[in-house]
Amino acid sequence: MKFPKNWLKKEKYKNIKFQISKTNHLLIKAKVNGIAGVFILDTGASSSCIGFAGVDKFNLKPLNSKIKAAGAGATGMLTQIAKNNIIQLGKWKTADFDIVLFDLIHVNEALKDHKSKVVDGIIGADILMMGNAIINYKKKCFYLQK
């Protein structure tokens, strides 16, 4: 499906570029609380998350959570939550955003095994739905609506 640039502009969509990694993951640059990081764009992840290792880097304030995470072959992983964060992808930005924190070591180990870039976290369906996302694989970009 083709979207005319005028329509995207009229509907207040912001263009965000991505790269395709050696493992065919979509990698994007994003800022969390003004700090840049590398994230996997994952339509199958229900929530956006950052690894525990990124708590200090992104100035997060973790709170305990009863929610258990599952994904990428692991289940029952302990999580924390960091509330009231600012997320920016390209020129698209949202404030007062809650981020799930969990152990991303298994994800980054798998990426290293394939000589791919390690990541700080995952941008999930929560942001994609909030921004009414349109993904253009051919142009290696996606659009989020303001």
Residue 122 covered by a domain: yes
What's residue 3's pLDDT? 66
Q: What is the 3-state secondary structure (H, E, C) of the chain?
A: CCCCHHHHHHCCEEEEECEECCCCCEEEEEEECCEEEEEEECCCCCCCEEEHHHCCCCCCCEEEEEEEEEECCEEEEEEEEEEEEEEEECCEEEEEEEEEEECCHHHHHHHHHCCCCCCCEEECHHHHHHCCCEEECCCCEEEEEC
Whether 66 has a pLDDT exceeding 70, the answer reads no
Over residues 3-30, the pLDDT tens digits come to 677 899 999 999 999 999 989 999 999 9
38 falls within a domain: yes
Q: Is residue 89 in a domain?
A: yes
Residue 15 lies in a domain: no
Range(s) of the domain holding residue 119:
21-135
* Residue 4: predicted pLDDT: 75
Tally the domains of the chain.
Answer: 1
Q: What percent of the chain has pLDDT over 70?
A: 90
- Say which CATH number the domain at 103 has: 2.40.70.10
Is 6 within a domain? no
Q: Is residue 142 part of a domain?
A: no
Q: Does residue 61 lie in a domain region?
A: yes
pLDDT of residue 32: 98
pLDDT tens-digit series, residues 44-65: 999 999 999 999 999 999 998 7
Model pLDDT, residue 78 = 81
